[in-house]
Amino acid sequence: MSTMSEKATFQPKPSTAPPPISLALGVALASFSLLHSSSNAGTHHPAVPRVGRLPETLVMGYNTWNAYHCEISQTLILETTQLIKSLGLSDVGYNYVNIDDCYSEKQRNTNGDIVADKVRFPMGMRWLTDRIHSVGLDAGWYTCALYPGSFQNEERDAKLFSEEWGFDLLKYDNCAVPYDNYTRENIIGRYTRMADAITAQSKASGKAPMVFSLCDWGNQQPWLWAKRLGQSWRTTGDIGPNWASVANIINQNSFYSWATDFYAHGDLDMLEVGNGDLTYEEAKAHFTVWSFMKSPLLILASATPETLEILKNTEVIAINQDPVVGTAVTPFRWGVNPNWSNNASHPAQYWSGESQNGTIVMMLNVLDEPADMFFNLTESPWIRAGRQYSVRDLWSHTDNGTAVRNISVEAVPPHGVVALLLRDAGDEPEGLEPRCAVRDWCIDKNGTLLYGN
């Protein structure tokens, strides 16, 4: 039947920035190493909600690791903070500056506290976070390189990070885990200890709790339990700056993106836009998937025009930051593979979800050559039968007519993406055949079977 009444176009034009997004600071830390400990091993912690339920919208910001690994310093962090402001990235919501690994000394001090690296951060962490806060941004951190972890030091460290050092986010890794007969905990128990500490610290100080980002790389199905403890959880192993890695992460998340909702977000790992071997089209697809799956958006501050065009696409960001609908897109058809196929290089191609302004649809060309793509509107569970839909292209920033029954897009680039916002535009035209978009058990108003089953 008919497709869009006007051809889809893909010419970018400026878009309008979304409303300002609230700010916060974050930190990340190796979770469980034993360089200093107390003596309460084996304490039982029931799996019930711990950390305060915020933020409603996802974390957006900068992370040092993919660009710099351990080559970080307070000078680099402050220069990057200024770039995030001057490039306009903070204007569209990138408000966290996260220090990822290698920020501390290898040993705690004689009082048992973690100490900032005296060479990399000679002025200390509070000095640094005060300066980041002074320009309206926030800070966070993380480590997984056998620096001091927090097992049996959770309350001490939560107080240090939040009250003394001024961080608002903690990314907590499942690294350097002590042996079983020492911890007497599984992974849920170990994360519960820190969730409890963050909650206790918040109550004692009267401050909002730190955002708690859990990272076990999806090893023990965190989509089933992590929402009880924190605001986000890593869903897979680490990302690499290439399409093979991005496609593999998309494939894995196709089976559990349903678990994401407000206060509970699957984290697909940091964005590689502007890094490595990703083409422009691959970077667009990467950014769209992360945004539509409601993953935290953590960038490296690459300043090329093409990179900034992608990272500052406010129409795509608006889906990620939707204040009304918190769920992620899910596949409605796998495409080149049968539905529910597990294929690291050819993930699901056709996805849809809800938003406050309409149904969002994402089509991925997972092939190495251009491809025509097509779907029937009612394949998405969020589309009403017998209705037509206006079509907004979120990359060309254009309105592309009205879709009746189906949508087709020609010559989607290799590893490219189509991102659409569909709005109900009223009843479809009278007299269309077949009278049911889904022919099985199509019944006439007189009760007779029209097309069979």
Say how far apart CA 127 and CA 139 lie, in whole Å.
12
| Coil vs helix vs strand at 117 | coil
User: Active-site residue among 173, 196, 216, 267?
Assistant: 173
| Coil vs helix vs strand at 160 | helix
* CA distances in angstroms from 432 to 80, 298, 428, 435, 453, listed in the order given: 57, 47, 8, 6, 20
Verify whether residue 238 is a known catalytic residue.
yes
Residue 88 backbone class (left: φ over 0; alpha: ψ -120 to 50; beta: rest): left
The residues with which 409 forms a beta bridge, in sequence order, are 373
Q: With beta carbons less than 8 A apart as the criterion, state whether 292 and 348 touch.
A: no
What beta strand segments (E) does 45-196 contain?
60-63, 96-100, 138-142, 169-173
Query: Of 299, 301, 224, whose CA–CA distance to 266 is shortest?
Result: 224
Say how far apart CA 115 and CA 33 lie, in whole Å.
15
Verify whether residue 101 is a known catalytic residue.
no
Radius of gyration of the chain (CA): 24
What beta strand segments (E) does 33-137 contain?
60-63, 96-100
Tell me the torsion sign for CA atoms 327, 332, 336, 339.
Answer: positive
Q: Name, in order, each residue with C-beta under 8 angstroms of 125's C-beta and a sequence gap of 6 or more.
A: 103, 116, 165, 166, 167
Active-site positions read 173, 238
